[in-house]
Amino acid sequence: MTVKLYIDAIRDAIQEEMRRDDSVFVLGEDVGVRGGVFRVTQGLIEEFGESRIMDTPLAESAIAGVAIGAAAYGLKPIAEIQFADFIMPAVNQIISEASKMRYRSNNDWHCPLVIRAPYGGGVHGALYHSQSLEALFYHVPGLKIVMPATAADAKGLLISAIRDPDPVLFFEHKGLYRLVKDDVPDGEHTVPIGIAATRRQGTDITVITYGLMVHHAMEAAQELESEGVSTELLDLRTVAPLDREAIVSAARKTGKVLIVHEDNKTGGVGAEVSAIIAEEALFDLDAPIARLCGPDIPAMPFSPPQERFYMLDPDKIAAAMRQLAAF
């Protein structure tokens, strides 16, 4: 085990896979000489050269589309979209092409592609550098969506994503890059896609969340522990496909569920998690399913008080947990 920053764990995953498999390469805006605007790919061009750490023209649909072509040919591209907010021009390529290549060719072609994109707010990113976009994609069969909360998961899930034979969207919370560090197993370390992780065992209430919110919810759970409320905390890790079994079992365990996500509420991942619980565990519940999410406004404002108003934090989560515990 070595303690690593989230951002370094991502870089390690890319570097190790590129050393292991020469069909893996990176393409995106500023990923080469600059090492990425967040420096995720820093130093990689020196080791692998500009053909495998490729600075592309500023054109997201081409980044995705060229990567899809290379994946169909048999390589394993890791495409970086500089901010998740800028993925929109590539949505046609991701949804009409990558997600359907295997299906539409009746398993003749497939698309082993990873698209990495930093997402999330709380970093003064305003409307177009703060969005969470998982809900736009999680409706689409054929895609997998991974949103790790820890450095160990970031590395293990990214390696799994690179080795996955189908397209994977890998959303990295930019607030986690240099905030979170934890023990990352040395050597070969993979984490399976589609499996949630229990971060905390508890008996009174269950919190289900993912990404940065896992850390805020952990903090809130510690606070509630001192007030005598015991929290079960489930980190989804993968939002598509959802780990239905883990969701249902975590809900049944306490009978009181709070779903937390930074993304706005309507039609979010929480809606699906809630529906799964309602379908499979309704009569095990002791309280209505609760959701604490970003407000349904287009995006997060630049104004610091408004940004704080949008973002969830340990206090807001603790308040929602108390309310649920008291039901």
Partner 1 sequence: MSRHSELGLADDDVRNMFRYMLLARALDERMWLLNRAGKIPFVVSCKGQEGAQIAAAFALDAKRDYVLPYYRDLGIVLVFGQTATDVMLSGFAKWEDPNSGGRQMPGHFGSREHRIVTGSSPVSTQIPHAVGVALAARMRGERLVAYTSFGEGSSNQGDFHEACNFAGVHRLPVVFFCENNKYAISVPLKKQIGCERVADRAAGYGFPGVTVDGNDVLGVYAAMKEAVERALGGEGPTLVEALTYRLNPHSSDDDDRVYRTREEVEDAKSRDALIVFEQYLLTEGVLSAEAVGELRKEIAQLVDEATAYAEKAPYAPPEEALKYVYAE
What are the catalytic residues?
A: 129
What whole-number distance in Å separates Cα of residue 259 and Cα of residue 236?
11
CB of 307 to partner 1, least distance (A): 32
Q: Which of 7, 8, 45, 56 binds partner 1 (CB under 8 A)?
A: 56
Structural contact between residues 49 and 32, judged by C-beta atoms closer than 8 angstroms: no
Q: Which of 45, 71, 117, 229 binds partner 1 (CB under 8 A)?
A: 71
| Closer residue to partner 1 (CB): 52 or 216 | 52
CB of 70 to partner 1, least distance (A): 4
Cis peptide before 241 (omega within 30 of 0): yes
> Quick one: which of 201, 212, 219 has its CA closest to 260?
212
| Closer residue to partner 1 (CB): 66 or 205 | 66
What whole-number distance in Å separates Cα of residue 243 and Cα of residue 240?
8
CB of 79 to partner 1, least distance (A): 10
With CB under 8 A as the rule, give the number of residues binding partner 1.
42
Distance of CA 123 to the CA centre of its chain: 17
Q: Which of residues 102-161 bind partner 1 (CB under 8 A)?
A: 102-110, 141-142, 144
Q: Which of 30, 37, 39, 75 binds partner 1 (CB under 8 A)?
A: 75
Q: Which of 1, 33, 59, 278 binds partner 1 (CB under 8 A)?
A: 59
Q: Which of residues 15-54 bind partner 1 (CB under 8 A)?
A: 25, 51-52
Query: What are the E-state strand segments in the chain?
Result: 2-5, 24-28, 53-55, 76-80, 114-119, 144-146, 168-173, 181-184, 197-200, 205-209, 231-235, 238-240, 257-264, 290-294
Structural contact between residues 28 and 174, judged by C-beta atoms closer than 8 angstroms: no
CB of 38 to partner 1, least distance (A): 23
Helix (H) or strand (E) holding 47: helix 44-48
Single-letter residue type at 29? E
Single-letter residue type at 4? K
Q: Which of residues 161-200 bind partner 1 (CB under 8 A)?
A: 165-166
Structural contact between residues 64 and 27, judged by C-beta atoms closer than 8 angstroms: no
Q: Which of residues 78-107 bind partner 1 (CB under 8 A)?
A: 89, 92-93, 96-97, 100-107
| Closer residue to partner 1 (CB): 57 or 187 | 57
| Closer residue to partner 1 (CB): 134 or 263 | 134
What whole-number distance in Å separates Cα of residue 239 and Cα of residue 101?
21
Q: Which of 28, 35, 65, 120 binds partner 1 (CB under 8 A)?
A: 65
Name the site residues for partner 1 (rule: CB under 8 A). Answer: 25, 51-52, 56-57, 59, 61-62, 64-75, 77, 89, 92-93, 96-97, 100-110, 141-142, 144, 165-166
